[in-house]
Amino acid sequence: MSDEHTESTPAWIETSALTAPALLGAAAGLLLGDLMHRSARRGVGIGLGALGVAALLPFVVGGVKGLVTGPRSKVGVRRRIQRIRDAGIGAPDYDEVDQELREQGLL
């Protein structure tokens, strides 16, 4: 019965959930920025920037992969056509007699 009434999350809740960490990080940066020494601030900023880029890297790689090998690209179309062609080719028949003769060295 629970399958009949599936609840979807409203868009504003998803948006606020995605922006909350960024807002908290910006607030912490403003509050702690003056407390840190300039060289320490620079190192922390570079480190957090590198972590941000590393966190976005899987999305970028997935997007590029989708463009290169997606179903509408040349590679995707070739792959689909090859699968259609290979679907008609069945596994070769297995002949026990030939296998026995090969093992005995007669064939």
Residue 32 lies in a domain: yes
Q: Could you report the per-residue pLDDT of 47-73, keeping only the tens digit for each?
A: 878 887 888 888 888 888 888 888 888
Amino acid at 96: E
**Percentage of the chain with pLDDT > 70?**
86
Please give the tally of structural domains in the chain.
1
CA dist., res. 45 & res. 28, Å (int): 12
Banded model confidence at residue 12, pLDDT cuts 50, 70, 90: confident
Residue 24 lies in a domain: yes
Domain, as residue range, for 20: 14-88
Residue 4 lies in a domain: no
Whole-number pLDDT of residue 70: 82
Residue 37 lies in a domain: yes
Residue by residue, DSSP assigns 15-59 as HHHHHHHHHHHHHHHHHHHTTS-HHHHHHHHHHHHHHHHHHHHHH
Q: What is the mean pLDDT of residues 27-34?
A: 80
Whole-number pLDDT of residue 6: 56
Residue 104 lies in a domain: no
Residue 47 lies in a domain: yes
Residue 49 lies in a domain: yes
CA dist., res. 68 & res. 24, Å (int): 37
Q: Could you report the per-residue pLDDT of 82-91, keeping only the tens digit for each?
A: 888 887 776 6
Whole-number pLDDT of residue 31: 78
Whole-number pLDDT of residue 91: 60
Amino acid at 20: A
Residue 56 lies in a domain: yes
